Amino acid sequence: MKEAEASHFFHLLNLEGQALAPPPPERTYTEKLAFLAANTKGAEMTPPNADDYRRARSANIAELRRSLTSYKC
């Protein structure tokens, strides 16, 4: 195991430096890509469409109206 990888598991050692748990197995490149694909939010990574812009615009206008009505001279 490399030194950089070993530093991630320092909290799994007891006071004498003996391992309490074995390090996780090495993942291949394709396994890492599959893990990232499974754990990323695909819906948030899609480009915005017209409905998204419309929803954001109406939310901004509503916030502007709220701020203008609460403003007192």
Q: Alpha helix (H) ranges present in the chain?
A: 3-6, 29-39, 50-70
pLDDT tier at 9, thresholds 50, 70, 90: low
Evaluate whether 58 touches 50 at the Cβ level (below 8 Å).
Answer: no
pLDDT, residue 14, reads 74
Query: Could you tell me the pTM of the whole model?
Result: 0.35
Q: How many domains, in total, are found in the chain?
A: 1
Q: What is the span of the domain harbouring residue 27? A: 3-70
Check pLDDT > 70 for residue 40.
yes
Check pLDDT > 70 for residue 13.
yes
